[in-house]
Amino acid sequence: MKLKQLSLNNFRCLENKKIEFDPDFNLIYGKNGQGKTSLIEAVYFLATGKSFRTKKVKELTSYDKIRTIVYGSFESKLSGKTIAIDFNNDKKEYYVDKNKTKYIDYVGILNVISFIPEDIEIIIGNPSVRRGFFNYEISQTKNIYLKTLVDFEKILKTRNKLIKERKTNKELYHIYNEKFIEEGSKIILMRKEYVKNISRLLNLNYRKLFDANSELRLKYDSFIDNIDKMTLEEIKEKFREETVKKHDREKRYGYTLVGPQKEDFVFELNGKNAKAFSSQGEKKSIIFSLKIAEIDMLIKEKNEIPVFLIDDISSYFDEIRKNSILNYFKNKNIQCFITSTEKLDIEGKKIYIDKGRILSDE
């Protein structure tokens, strides 16, 4: 995939402008606080409908404006497409080739992987951060996962309501409990398969890029023990057993205590939990290896190369490793958007940002 063009209207501090991009490298440079990160954030927002900096989407709209539009055109192996997001008064509308579409069908059309300072939270943050991250990444590779997740969350909400209202002896509760087990088991199975595949790639990338003598694993910490070789039916059976065990406690607490909404993902470096035992440098290397593994997964699952975003590359890597990483992307034919306070010596388009003004350096 190659993002050819981006048009911005009232996005953060950036001027309203149409920008053409290089199919390989796009360096966005300038002093701190000028809008470099906002430009790659706009690319991320176009692809995902989300920000990697804030959960408050209102913050993406320029001061004293109420409407933001981000529009882009890109090429994939199959065809070219245009996509757009129109955000107005808390309402987001999604468009593909100028036709309005649902978010659930929009996700995964333009695949993007970002590497930003905040990504360290994937390791050190609480389990909800990791669930949110992996939920989106699995959705990029399998649209059916997102649809299942949306259905599951609706069912969970109703199940919690029935527990809180002490209606667990009613027929409606039993219907929703079965749906809860059915959709939850599908999520667990897809997570299990994804973790198995990406863990192997994660380890290969870490050893190739950072430390050939180390062993890096991603483990799926499920409430169901020993799920590695379980079928969907076996997962359902174990899930059902767990809901029975927790039934009385759920009635006391008034909400659901078991299910994929409670699970976690654990990074282990040389057999130890990276959250507690890895250095800051090792954590950064783990995250970067994860991002490269995501690229490999998308190529494997969708036969498409995603767009890659790196925020503040100089603060992450020394000169030797930086050049090694840039060569990796070049050899893989991956389109990159890189921010830096320095004007790096790379082939491609250089965009200078000054107080929100977007100036091509050609």
Residues in binding site for ATP:
30-37
Q: How far apart are the first and last CA of the chain?
A: 24
Determine contact, residues 79/22, Cβ cutoff 8 Å.
no
Antiparallel, parallel or unpaired: β 67-75 and 25-29: unpaired
Determine contact, residues 220/265, Cβ cutoff 8 Å.
yes
Taking alpha carbons only, the member of 8, 42, 19 closest to residue 311 is: 42
Would you call 37 exposed, middle or buried from its count of C-beta atoms within 10 A (0-12, 13-18, 19+)? buried
Listed in order, strand segments (DSSP E) in 149-299 are 216-221, 264-269, 272-273
Which residue positions form the known binding site?
A: 30-37
The residues, any chain, with a CB within 8 Å of residue 243's CB and separated by 6 or more, are: 177, 180, 181, 258
Instruction: Give me the residues paired with residue 27 across strands.
Output: 338, 350
